[in-house]
Amino acid sequence: MGLKKLTNEKIKVILMQDDALDHSDEAKLQDAYAEYLKTLDESKLPFIENPMPIRFVMSLTQNLDGASDVLNQQISVDENGKVKQNMGAILPYLRAVIVDIENDPKLAKEDRFDFKKDQDGLASKEIVAAIHAIDGHFYLFTAHVQAKQRAAKGTQLLKKN
């Protein structure tokens, strides 16, 4: 018997709200984006010529300094002893997994998502609040969870010595 171990692989995610995507047919964009989230294959997305999309870089493993706090917020037990997941923990979860943001260098400063860390070593609350303000947090969370599931299926089993 062995355990599956996730590597510190990183993924890059484009938000559906990104201006680099073709929003002329929202239904088509929603369908394409749903397919994109399954694999993060950017060729599935309908791009316009300019600008380059903003890519949120996330680690498949959580920052250990923040992981226990995030897990404590994610999971609770109800009055019947049933374990439940708190969806309000998505923002702290994202703080623990976002490790960088790639911007189009041509973007004006006010249109950029510049990556910063807070004193606790996690992605800044300011950045995560900005992502939340445009309703991007569910897309990042979904992409991250699906990527972790794909990665876990493809990992090697650890061998006992």
pLDDT single digits (tens) 84-128: 655 567 888 899 899 999 998 888 888 888 999 999 889 999 999
Q: Is residue 87 part of a domain?
A: yes
Q: Is residue 157 part of a domain?
A: no
Q: Is residue 75 part of a domain?
A: yes
Q: Is residue 128 part of a domain?
A: yes
Query: What pLDDT is recorded for position 51?
Result: 74
Q: Is residue 100 part of a domain?
A: yes
| Per-residue tokens: 53 | 């999309």
pTM of the model: 0.79
Q: Is residue 80 part of a domain?
A: yes
For tokens 């949120």, name the residue.
56
pLDDT greater than 70 at residue 160: no
H or E element at residue 76 = strand 75-77
- Percentage of the chain modeled with pLDDT above 90: 49
Per-residue CA distances from 159 to 3, 60, 81 (Å): 8, 22, 35
Q: 98-102 and 83-85: which strand pairing?
A: unpaired
Query: What pLDDT is recorded for position 59?
Result: 92
**Domain interval for residue 115:** 10-149
Reported for 62-71, long-range contacts at CB under 8 A and 24+ positions apart, including other chains, are 62/93, 62/96, 62/97, 63/96, 63/97, 63/99, 63/121, 63/122, 65/120, 65/121, 65/122, 66/92, 66/95, 66/96, 66/120, 66/121, 66/122, 67/96, 70/95, 70/96
Per-residue CA distances from 144 to 1, 9, 54, 58, 81 (Å): 27, 11, 16, 7, 28
Q: Is residue 160 part of a domain?
A: no
Q: Is residue 161 part of a domain?
A: no
| Per-residue tokens: 131 | 């992502």
- For the chain, what is the domain count? 1
pLDDT greater than 60 at residue 60: yes
